[in-house]
Amino acid sequence: MRSLHRAIAIAAGLIAASPAAFSADWSLSYIGQQIVASGTTFQGTTVGGLSGIDYDAGTGSYYAISDDRSGVNAARFYNLGLNLNQFVRSATPGAAGVAFNSVTTLQTPAGTAFAPNTVDPESIRYNAASKTLVWSNEGQRTAAGLQNPTVREMRLDGTHIRDFGVPTAYKPVGSPAGTAAGDRGVNNNLAFESLTYSTDGRTLYTATENALVQDGPTASVNNGSRSRILSFDVATGQAGAEYAYDVSPVALAPNPAGAFATNGLTDLLAIGDRQFIGIERSFATGAQTPGTPVTGNTIRLFYIDARHATDISGRESIAGDGSVVAASKELLLDLSDLRNDDGSALALDNIEGLTLGPVVNGKQTLVLVSDNNFSGTQFTQFVALQISQVPEPKTWAMLVGGLCALLGLGRKPGR
């Protein structure tokens, strides 16, 4: 497991302590996993496509959104329980620690279920103060039509409350491929994969998985992609500051060469003032990290700091603009490094969601979930990690206190 180093500064952002107090190293360690087999059903729906997850500390349950475009079943989210004591470091962990409690249909503003291929749900966050949920929709840019990406708030029964004000620059215009002169907006399937509330609950963040069409290329083996982090004022729903974020190139070359490969920013978790843990999920057909199973997936967690990044809000394009300072990033953990108790590498599916979990045995947990794409060759994977300190007990107690405050307070709306 790789050190979080001093850069993570989790508690510094949460409890406004001096950065010097957090100079000790921190580490993320592997608690275990659970795997729900593809084809599992619950209350008449096929469980799959879990692209976002969030923990409700009040009930001890989780919300997970499916990216089903109302193709298998109506677009929906699940409430579930995860017993981390049953998570094991094994290649065959079972699913005894996963219990689905309910499933809820997402509703349009008109109060109906979404018709097939009219929505692409990707991320979800719970607001404990208002007892509502926010969720993101990637939209679409294909020959079947152009659909705007959206960020919406809903009640726990799935009924619509409001839309957040997504700027025009994100809305697809032009050709389905996004390669013609004058094309603008999100690339297909590379838009709003992430959501997170700021630690004070006043700001909501999302990000594009890759660059907007007018901002630059999508990620490949040879180049990264400059995505945008977008903020909203929770009280008004209006867009605020935006920051560039440089997604890394695809981690491994596909096999055979030229086969499908991608890398993208798939989730954000605020841990301080404009500081986040982010997931970059890289996939390359047929690729294999030496010593690991062939899944094609490389999952990396990064510390992201946008405090010194340029506010690019209002800029239609940032392509070729050398004045733009992007958010900084530092690798926290490459999940390819994780090992089960028998020494085998952790086989990684298409992990896209991240949340703080409960404090277990005095240590804060992180929980990740994978989108199995409703494929029989993939699986719905829950991975649990814990944040450990080396070795100062007083500093660790402050960190736990700060993270607990985030779980209790971080989802309050602005006043």
Q: How far is Cα of residue 262 from the mean position of the Cα atoms in its chain? A: 16
Residue 12 has pLDDT above 50, yes or no: no
Residue-wise pLDDT tens digits, 72-86: 999 999 999 999 999
Task: Compute the average pLDDT of residues 286-310.
Answer: 94
CB 220 within 8 A of CB 229: no
| pLDDT, greater one: 413 or 357 | 357
Query: Rounded distance, CA 166 to CA 75, Å?
Result: 21
- Identify whether 359 is part of a domain: yes
Query: Shortest CA distance to 3 belongs to which of 23, 20, 31?
Result: 23
pTM for the model stands at 0.90
The set of residues, in sequence order, having a beta carbon less than 8 Å from that of 118 and lying 6+ positions away, is: 69, 70, 147
CB 396 within 8 A of CB 389: yes
- Identify whether 414 is part of a domain: no
Residue-wise pLDDT tens digits, 132-186: 999 999 999 999 999 999 999 999 999 999 999 999 999 999 999 999 999 999 9
| pLDDT, greater one: 389 or 219 | 219
Q: Where residue 231 sits, what CATH number does that domain have?
A: 2.130.10
Task: Tell me how far apart the 2 most distant CA atoms of the chain are, in Å.
Answer: 58
Residue-wise pLDDT tens digits, 206-249: 999 999 999 999 999 999 999 999 999 999 999 999 999 999 99
The pLDDT, as a whole number, for residue 92 is 97
Query: Rounded distance, CA 296 to CA 315, Å?
Result: 36
- Identify whether 339 is part of a domain: yes
pLDDT band at 16; cut points 50, 70, 90: very low
The pLDDT, as a whole number, for residue 291 is 86
C-alpha triplet 380, 190, 122: angle, nearest 5°: 40
Residue 112 has pLDDT above 80, yes or no: yes
The pLDDT, as a whole number, for residue 389 is 65
The pLDDT, as a whole number, for residue 138 is 97
How many domains would you assign to the chain?
1
pLDDT band at 360; cut points 50, 70, 90: very high
- Identify whether 44 is part of a domain: yes
- Identify whether 265 is part of a domain: yes
Task: Compute the average pLDDT of residues 111-130.
Answer: 97
Tokens read off for 287: 């690729």
- Identify whether 415 is part of a domain: no
Structural domain span for residue 313: 6-409
The pLDDT, as a whole number, for residue 404 is 52
Task: Compute the average pLDDT of residues 58-62.
Answer: 97
Residue-wise pLDDT tens digits, 318-341: 999 999 999 999 999 999 999 999
The pLDDT, as a whole number, for residue 388 is 81
Burial of 96 (0-12, 13-18, 19+ CB in 10 A): exposed
The pLDDT, as a whole number, for residue 3 is 38
The pLDDT, as a whole number, for residue 39 is 97
Residue 20 has pLDDT above 80, yes or no: no
What percent of the chain shows pLDDT beyond 90?
Answer: 84
- Identify whether 127 is part of a domain: yes
- Identify whether 203 is part of a domain: yes
Residue 402 has pLDDT above 70, yes or no: no
pLDDT mean across residues, the chain: 90
pLDDT band at 19; cut points 50, 70, 90: very low
